[in-house]
Structure 1
Amino acid sequence: MMEKVLSRSIRLICLGGVAFGVSTAYAQEMQTQNGQNQSGAVQQQAEAAAQTQPSSAMQRVEVTGSRIASPNAESPSPLQVLSAADIAASGATNLQQVLLENPTMGSPAISRTNSAFQTASVGVATVDLRNLGRSRTLVLVNGRRFVSGIPGEASVDLNSIPTDFIERVELLTGGASAAYGSDAVAGVINIITKRNFNGVMLDAQGGQSSKSDDLKRKFSATFGVSNDDGYLMGHLGFSRQGQVWSRDREASAVDQYSKMVLETGDPADAFTAVRPYYSSYAPQGRFFHDTGSYTYDANGKEIPWSTNGGAGGAGATGFNRSFYRSIAVPVDRYLFATNGELKINEKHRIFMEGTYASSKVSSTIEPFALGAENIYPTTGQVPAATLVNGALVKNPLVPQYLYDRISDTDGDGIPDYYFTRRLSEVGTRSSMADRDTFRFVTGLKGEFDAWKTWNYEVYGGYGQTKEAQQSTGQVNVLNFANALQAIPGENGGAPVCASADARAQGCVPINVFGYNSISPAALAYVTAPGSLLTSTTQKLVGGQVNSEIWDLPAGPLGVAAGFEWRKEYSSAVPDALTQAGLNAGNATPPTFGEFTVKEVFVETRVPLLKGIPFVKELSFLGAFRHGDYSSVGSANSWNAGFEWTVVDDVKLRGTRSLSTRAPNISELYQAPSQDFPSGLNDPCIGVTATSTGAYDALCRAAPGVAANIAANGKFTQTQADLQGISGYNRGNPNLAAEKGRSTTVGVVWTPRSIAPLKRFTFTADYFNIKIADAIVSTPRQFTLESCYNGSNPTFCQFITRRPAASGNNSAGSLQYIDTAVSNSGGLVTEGIDLTAAWNDRVGPGRLSTKLAYTYVKKGYTVPLPGAEADPFAGEVGAAKNKALFDIGYKWNQLSVSATMTYLGRSSLDDQFLAGFDLAPNSIKVGSRTYTDLQASWALTKQAELYFGMNNAFDQKAPPIITGLPGDSTGTETEAGTYDPIGRRWYAGIRVKL
């Protein structure tokens, strides 16, 4: 009985469209008002289903945020609903695309437009409520946890959930750990799948961008049968999103760098790009000697090095990395989903849910930029000769021009040289990732009588995500070192490797001097393909009961109680060379970790007053959860809230909660994982041998910095230095759980008693979330400042500078800046959500409008306890003002709609600006408004055609170029926030059989 009631309620909510900020009871009331948002055949199907339901369909409902099923249940926390019709109207192949339009969402940490340089998880789609981090947004499917799509994390990959199988999505903002457990610090996204469906629904779609890329193909079939004994549904789907190359957009076609990074001054110059600004790691190599450096021209002639860039991959003195980079990586998805229920008797049913998703993702970046320090990490110097029987024998591959200009720099009696070179012969660095997600849940639900009628549910589930990645473009540094040391062959023959052992293992001398100079045999000897295998598993068992156990004067007292046991495991195993650090990068050992948690919870809804002046209804809601983690021990969560219906048209609501989040496996156990940060300012720039600034003494203490000053008169960065910073992210096994205190207070106004406004709904909600002991990665700029201003010398261990190499202007430049997670001083956000919805008959058809607006008053992190707050509200990726406006009109068979997404003005990171003595908010990024359009035409009751355009007016992304904080490599903007692709169109057909 309970399941029938719930399924009917879901169908009524589907008819309501998006009822932003409106709870389930209001969604039911609005079912005939917002129906025009349903596209042709889908609308008629839903209307027919609704007409068959009896008037008692809303007897008992469970909503996101509460485990208690009750009449006209509503959430005391802000709840926004996204219907199947809204997802269909977006034309999205991925739920992430739709969710990111909601103003409560922050910029995603991972999407297909900002993940090409990810070591793992390329093309994954995650979401981030309130800009508090994806790990603090709990994604549920039908109220239960879903296995993570990223090794070591709790973040769900939305690629694994088919959009056409979704009935609705409920967004609950505010702490909800008491109801759902760890990770719900910022809120919950509960994805409700379809059920009780008869027939077959087919959907075929194709599209591309106005530049003829970003190819999109989609086909899905949703089918099901149902009767009084239960139902069984299934879904099969395929989608393809094609590649978008950086070289195919004018804004990102060539390497560039921010002028502000090169010369301080007028902030108005911040976005004046030095263009082109090609990489100095050129395919023909750059070779450093005692008094300078040289390279080769296109004819193989030795010429002095110049900073004037060349083109493509064969330019004389530069290399355009953007030619090989991507704005969006291609993703192919194969999806299968199913769910069903079977009636055992009138009071008990067995249910199941199953999902299988296979994603194939590829990424390509430029060929490897090799420096001598990658092969000889201690000295950064390559021997130009070998001692053979006590005699110095010159490497015959080393040009005489270079040999005559170098000296012994490390005191071993052998002349040395330093070089940089783009390994174009090795080819691009590419990876192919096969990612498979499997999840199965089954259980028993129903009701039993024990004093009162109790609803119950028990379930067990298993989920697993596996990723197998194969990569190319790296080299074996041991083999490369052997190949660099050559001697003449017997009787003056062709050069051979100096080491007899290496020769026995197939060593072939390598010639790095000049363009395309590496022979195929040498290439085969030094090439080192890589691999990465990851696995994430989730096991869970849970159960709950709920009932209304007493009839109080103001209404029935509702209670719920339950338990959950969960085990999470994750592993990431790179290939042997990577584990040993022998592929020109730092050693990356395998990562393994697991934890278990046992939890119990209780919840109550207490009606306090009813039917008195200005108190139509007043209820208290409370919940408590206790968890016992194998990793961090005990953790408690609670929430307390109220619902106050003042009069029929006005309702007040509020909650206060304590949410906990235990550290995930990556935060605890992650081995160093390589990253490529941007927008960093080295505090040692400009330091001289006698300068007395705040950083100068500690900067000069670094040998490489001192050598750079001796060579240049002051510490100077080259082009390669600016473009060559990397770093590693590390875990911390000593982390404790974080605690988030959340407050929300709001009002819902539904003026049904005012005739002109009877179809209008307005909500306003204040939110304040303060996370103590927040688990964060220490910002790299903060690490630099803390090290060199002497405030925290321990941070210096995370900084690696290039060695002091004679004749190499890169001496002392930043090579690696690592970061590790810790329990920080805190994380805070505060603001207001406003929503409004109205619809009515206008002319021959029906018009509907919806508006959602979020204003973030403040948001900041405290990197370490006692440190100054680092604000993020108002910075790129976290605009203070965001809005979404929908308008739709339906007239007979025609439906048209428009969605406008607004991102307010933002500024560059204040820590970055402070490095140039610029005030916070002094460098602004203008606002952007993106407009999406769709039209559909119902051919028959069973079929409709639809057409849409995303970013219809081709709004350009702001130029957040390389060297500025927030830049997504390869896009020259913040691709998680702004659209780097441009106008795109799609067309399709839906058929109900």
Structure 2
Amino acid sequence: MAQQDDAATSSTADNAPSTEAIVVTGSRLARGGFQAPTPVTVLGQEEIARQGSANIGDALNQLPSFRAQSTPATAGVSLANAGAQLSDLRGLGANRTLVLVNGRRFISGTVAGNPLSPAGAVDLNMIPTSLVARTEVVTGGASAAYGSDAVAGVVNLILDDRLEGLRGSAQLGMAERGDNVERFYSLAAGTSFAGGAGHIVLAGEYAGSDGIGSCYDRPFCAAEVAPITNPTPQANGLPRQVLLPNARPATASWGGLIVSGPLRGTEFADDGSTFQHDYGVYYGAGLFQSGGSADPRNAYFDNFPLVAPVERYSLYGQLRYDLGSDLEFKMDASYGRVTAELVGAQTRDTNIVIQRDNPFLPESVVDRMTALGLTSFTFGRIGQDLGPMVGRTTRETARIAAGLEGRIGQGWSWDVYYQYGQTDYAQTASNNRINDNFLRAVDAVEASDGSIVCRSTLTDPTNQLVQGCAPLNLFGQNNFSAAAKAYAYGTAQQNTKLTQHVVAATLRGDLFEGWAGAIPVAIGAEYRVEDAEGSADPVSTALRFYTSPGSGITGPAVEVKEAFAEAALPLARDLPFMQSLELNGAVRVTDYSTSGTVTTWKVGGVWDVSSLLRVRATRSRDIRAPNFFELYSPPSTSFQRIDDPRFDGASELVPVLIGGNEQLRPETADTFTAGVVVSPMRGLRIAADYYDIRLDGAISTLGGGTIVARCEQGATEFCALIDRDPVTQQLLGVRNINLNVNSLKVRGVDFEASYRTGLADGTLDIRLLGTHVIDLITVDSGGTVDRAGMNGAPTSQTSGVPSWTVTGNIGWSKGPFAAQLQGRYVSSGVYNALLIGPGEEGYAPTAPNSISDNRIGARVYLNLNSQITVYESGRQKLELFGVANNLLDTMPPNNTPSSSGPGNAVLYDVIGRAYKIGVRFAY
């Protein structure tokens, strides 16, 4: 498994040649045996291979400190950034985790538009997993060492640049239920040339997954558990939200449903005839009912993909050449392409206005409206026959870096490099409804010649948008014309190009010999320019689509100038109760063209009491400046389910506008870590590190539901982001733009225990990693919400993290055979930190935040992997391996409705028992 360590004791440092300086992530200093005050978790190449991980993101998400916020399993019906694999430390968001490749920044790959996948984050799909020699994770602030974005920590992917010979692998995976077929192939080669002066490495890999196409392919999802709104005044003694199975829309159906007035409950059959809707268990308000519905096909979760299909290619090449005189040239280049496809939700309308003179209405309905004096009614419909939106995203990332590394005298080294990166992002959404065209097509009338036409062709014939309008019959199934659908539906397109230029230089070495050892220092400077330019089709630009990516992004490039210095001061060595004592400090001054000048710093220390006990601590000031997308993203639209407190928590589908905010300020964080490492006996080591991160001015989109709730709780600044009908007060829209919310507070403890010993002529390895999250608090003017122990990801809200996450493994190897059993534990928790359920303090059925079931039970996952070497001679090796994931076929809890369906795919495995087999070879 992973290893929480520092340079003094990590296997990486111990095995390195003594002539080569070691740079451990979290520090810019280079010195063999330097003892880092910041805990570093190391995930090695062997462990990644054992898990059969086709993506480094999958392996990282097994570590307790990570939250799998953005994966193909969390895409749901949201197209933006579909298929992206992001790293999210501490539950603070992927945009607060800095991703490096070989110690250098990597070009970002995500754009705006998906709350689960923040813009400006590195897509791990672009890094060839097979070439990752190790991953070093700093679980604490590191802005002083590496710059902006390192608030939660740093993920440094260190690639194998000394590969000799040829190695490759091929594997096939499949879920036990026959879906989610995965294919992964990799090939890498390296060789020296010019008498050893040069070395070249080339690598490529392909990964493809078919995904899981339907929510109803898994029992937890097919249960269709959703909150049924129970309005006030209550006469049934039940809470305001009642989680029940067999959720059906109460305000829409496949053939159409009248939802207002005296004809409420009149439903249209496939042929356009009518019958009375069966409301099942329904309390008179909200989006859902339980059961009932004379048409059981009216399932809300149709077309929710459990896992989005993703296909990716990645290529990497590196050239090193020794120019002599302690001077080396180094160049590396990479290219990655990721394509994801998903079927989005069909249109879901609850407030279409139908006029009495619509000629498509059955005569019986017209007669009843006439008798009742009705001129119109409100109509709800799920556009199953019109088909779902079909989305496709493609990301292509290219990067090239070239530089020189050299030495000056004894103990000093320097490096300078230039890097260029570019990501081309393309998104299409076909069969996407054009809202205004749709409404014009629905409003049909009979012309003087007896033909049926759009009303607008008679009342507004000169309007260019009216041209081509054909009347659309929504009553029943498949009763519309091809011309009507062609007018009402189209394809949304968005293209974005991200570019990054980096020039950086670093000088490091020993300043002089102190009384307790050499005093290493590192100084450097960096200049960075990041830009984005985008385009979109005219309909998207005008926000006319049902799900719109908005217009293309544009704005002034963000220029960053940085300078940093770092030093260590050994204070004592080889004294009683003070085997060594060392302080470390760093400072960085950064000037942003958009946000001004900020200073970050870090101070830390390591006290080796003896070979049995080490104590370490750090204190740092970290920052994150708003990125290009957070500042300049144009508005884009989607629909979200929001529980409206003004109407007793009734659920509504509401247009939500997402966009940038040029008034954003940089975030500032104060981070403190302190821990101990104990080695009580040979082969056993135990570590515990406390962390405390307090982030002020956090940049975030709160979610439409949170904005509405905060406004009703008295935070008036949020009310300006909400649009309501001036008469009915129904929600018309919410602007979920980026804001500097007040603060985020995160506290917790990381644990590790590892033990190695001999057993039955073999080697037994045991390792346990755990994270206990004490606080994950958001504070704004509306109050405080602690999402530590919140295991749900409620629709339109921020997801939380469990109180405890533990990953452990036990492995045994002997000769050519090795096997490992891995376990992962997710503690019990609540579904929604904003709600109170039975058994919780303060629960009352009449309270506006009451829910029938707010508890989520603990989950345990077991994985088994094994490998056997069938041939080995020198560098030649052939190995067969197999992996069985989720041996117990543990399904997610089904009482956790989220944006990706009835379950929370952020925390829980939605695939079930699955297998992988493969072969690895080296030559």
Indicate whether the TM-score tops 0.5: yes
User: Does 1:246 find its partner at 2:212?
Assistant: no
What is the root-mean-square deviation of aligned Cα atoms in Å?
3.1
Partner residue of 1:977? 907
User: Quick one: distance in 1 between partners of 2:558 and 2:866?
Assistant: 49
Alignment of 1:165-314 (within 5 A): 165-226=131-192, 228-244=196-212, 245-253=214-222, 255-259=224-228, 272-278=243-249, 280-287=251-258, 290-293=261-264, 294-307=266-279
Deviation of 1:104 after TM superposition, in Å, equals: 1.3
| Local SS of the residue matching 1:349 | strand
Pairing 1:732–2:661 present: yes
1:878 to 2:846 alignment: no
1:909 equivalent to 2:836? Answer no
**TM-score, normalized by length of structure 1?**
0.83
Q: Is the 8 A contact 1:289 1:406 kept in 2?
A: no
Answer yes or no: is the 8 Å Cα contact 2:566–2:585 preserved in 1. yes
Q: Secondary structure at the match of 2:570?
A: strand
Q: Residue in 1 aligned with 2:722?
A: 799
Give 1:15's aligned residue: none
User: Which residue pairs with 2:389 in the alignment?
Assistant: 429
> Please, which runs of 5 or more residues in structure 1 have no aligned partner?
1-17, 32-49, 374-380, 386-394, 687-715, 752-756, 805-810
One-letter code of the match for 1:646? V
Task: Tell me the distance in 2 between the aligned counterparts of 1:605 and 1:905.
Answer: 43
Does the Cα contact within 8 Å between 1:367 and 1:473 map onto a contact in 2? no
Q: Do 2:548 and 2:638's aligned partners in 1 also have CA atoms closer than 8 Å?
A: no
2:529 is aligned with 1:567: yes
**AA aligned opposite 2:53:** A
Task: Report the CA distance shift for 1:117/1:472 in structure 2 as closer, same or farther (over 3 A).
Answer: same
Query: What is residue 41 of structure 1 aligned with on the other side?
Result: none
**Aligned-partner Cα distance in 2 for 1:401–1:76:** 79
Give the CA deviation at 1:956: 1.5
The equivalent residue for 1:388 is: none
Confirm whether residue 476 of structure 1 aligns to residue 434 of structure 2. Answer: yes
The alignment status of 1:610 with 2:527, answered yes or no, reads no
Displacement of 1:787 in angstroms is 2.7
Local SS of the residue matching 1:73: coil
Q: Shift of residue 765 of structure 1? A: 1.2
Q: Quote the residue 1:899 is aligned against.
A: 822
- CA distance in 2: counterparts of 1:470 and 1:976, whole angstroms: 25
* Partner Cα separation in structure 2 for residue 260 and residue 487 of structure 1: 37
Query: Do the aligned partners of residues 112 and 562 (structure 1) sit closer, same or farther apart at CA in structure 2, a change above 3 Å counting?
Result: same
Instruction: Give the AA of the match of 1:396.
Output: P
Task: Give the structure 1 partner of residue 683 of structure 2.
Answer: 759
CA spacing shift, 1:674–1:58, aligned 2, 3 Å: farther
Match of 2:103 in 1: 143
Determine the structure 2 residue equivalent to 1:668. Answer: 631
Tell me what 1:466 maps to.
424
Is residue 2:311 matched to residue 1:340? Answer: no
Report the equivalent of 1:692.
none
Q: SS of the residue aligned with 1:770? A: strand
Query: Could you give the per-residue CA deviations for residues 138-196 of structure 1, whole angstroms, max 9, x where no partner exists?
Result: 11100000111112633111111121110000011111000000010111111000111
Letter in 2 for 1:94: N
Note if 1:70 corresponds to 2:39.
no
Maintained 8 Å contact 2:346/2:389: yes
Equivalent residue for 2:60, pick from 77, 99, 120 = 99
SS in structure 2 opposite 1:828? strand
Q: Distance in 2 between matches of 1:399 and 1:120?
A: 40
- Aligned residue for 1:424, secondary structure, equals coil
Question: Take 2:230 and 2:110, find their aligned partners in 1: how far apart are those partners?
Answer: 34
* Cα distance in structure 1, aligned partners of 2:608 and 2:852: 42
**Which sections of structure 2, spanning at least 5 residues, go unmatched?**
113-118, 281-287, 792-799, 837-842
Whether the aligned pair in 2 keeps the contact of 1:778 and 1:863 (CA below 8 Å) is: no
Task: Name 1:511's counterpart in structure 2.
Answer: 473
Aligned to 2:775: 858
Residue 675 and residue 344 in structure 1: after superposition, are their counterparts in 2 closer, same or farther (change >3 A)?
Answer: same
The correspondence of residues 242-641 of structure 1 with structure 2, limited to 5 A, is 242-244=210-212, 245-253=214-222, 255-259=224-228, 272-278=243-249, 280-287=251-258, 290-293=261-264, 294-307=266-279, 316=295, 319-370=298-349, 381-385=353-357, 395-406=358-369, 415-449=375-409, 453-488=411-446, 491-492=449-450, 498-499=457-458, 500-501=461-462, 505-584=467-546, 588-593=550-555, 594-641=557-604
CA distance in 2, matches of 1:30, 1:557: 19
Classify 1:30/1:597 alpha carbon distance in 2 versus 1 (closer, same or farther; 3 Å): closer
Distance in 2 of aligned mates of 1:768 and 1:286:
53
Deviations 1:189-223 (A, max 9, x none): 11000111121112000010011001111111111
Say if 1:900 and 1:255 are closer, same or farther in 2 by CA, change over 3 A. Answer: closer
Relative to structure 1, the CA distance from residue 794 to residue 496 in structure 2 (aligned partners, 3 Å threshold; closer, same or farther) is closer
Per-residue deviation, residues 670-714 of structure 1 (Å, max 9, x unmatched): 233335555x5422235xxxxxxxxxxxxxxxxxxxxxxxxxxxx
Q: What does residue 987 of structure 1 align with?
A: 917
- Which deviations, in whole Å up to 9, do the C-alpha atoms of 1:102-137 show, x marking residues without a partner? 1111x2332111113324101111121111121111
Relative to structure 1, the CA distance from residue 467 to residue 656 in structure 2 (aligned partners, 3 Å threshold; closer, same or farther) is same
Cα distance in structure 2, aligned partners of 1:267 and 1:749: 52
Code of the residue aligned with 2:176 in structure 1: it is: S
Q: 1:645 aligns with which of 598, 604, 608?
A: 608
The answer (yes or no) to whether the contact 1:267–1:923 under 8 Å persists in 2 is no
Quote the residue 1:121 is aligned against. Answer: 81
Distance 2:692 2:42 in 1: 21
Q: Is the 8 A contact 2:243 2:852 kept in 1?
A: no
Displacement after TM superposition at 1:288 (Å): 5.7
- Please say which structure displays the higher CA radius of gyration: 1
Hey, what does 2:878 align to over in structure 1? Answer: 943
Per-residue Cα deviation, 1:308-354 (whole angstroms, up to 9, x for no partner): 59999x97486223232211000011111122211111401111121
- Match of 2:749, SS state, is strand
In the alignment, what sits opposite 2:839? none
User: 2:79·2:392 contact (CA, 8 Å) conserved in 1?
Assistant: no
Query: Which structure has more strand as a fraction of its residues?
Result: 2
**2-structure distance, mates of 1:19, 1:479:** 55
CA distance in 2, matches of 1:270, 1:506: 45
Offset of 1:748 from its aligned partner? 1.8
Relative to structure 2, which stretch is displaced further, 480-489 or 759-768?
Answer: 480-489
* 8 Å Cα contact 2:206-2:312 kept in structure 1: yes
> Which deviates the most, 847-856 or 178-187?
847-856
Give the superposition deviation at 1:781: 4.7
Q: Taking structure 1 as reference, are residues 519 and 589 closer, same or farther at Cα in structure 2, changes over 3 Å only?
A: same
Aligned to 1:699: none
What whole-Å deviation, never above 9, does each CA across 1:347-376 have from its counterpart, x for those lacking one? 011111211111110011232124555xxx
Structure 2 CA distance for partners of 1:327 and 1:19, relative to 1, 3 Å? closer
Q: Which amino acid aligns with 1:181?
A: G
- For 1:577, what is the secondary structure of its paired residue? helix
Cα gap change, 1:868/1:424 in structure 2, threshold over 3 Å: closer, same or farther? closer
Residue type matched to 1:989 in 2?
V
Q: Is contact 2:228-2:244 (8 Å) kept? A: yes
CA distance, structure 2, for counterparts of residue 868 and residue 955 of structure 1: 36
Matched residue count = 878
Instruction: Say if 1:779 and 1:863, in contact at 8 Å, map to a contact too.
Output: no
Percent of aligned positions that are identical: 27
Instruction: Tell me if structure 1 keeps the 8 A contact 2:223–2:245.
Output: no
2:698–2:741 contact (8 Å) kept in structure 1: yes
Quote the Cα distance in structure 2 between the aligned partners of 1:665 and 1:531.
21
- Give the conservation status (yes or no) of the 8 Å contact 1:253–1:323: no
TM-score (norm 2): 0.89
How far residue 271 of structure 1 moved from its aligned partner, in angstroms, is: 7.8
Partner of 2:11: 28
C-alpha separation in 2, matches of 1:478 and 1:272? 35
The structure with the largest helix share of the pair is 1
Structure 1 stretch 260-269 or stretch 733-742: which is displaced more? 260-269
Aligned to 2:795: none
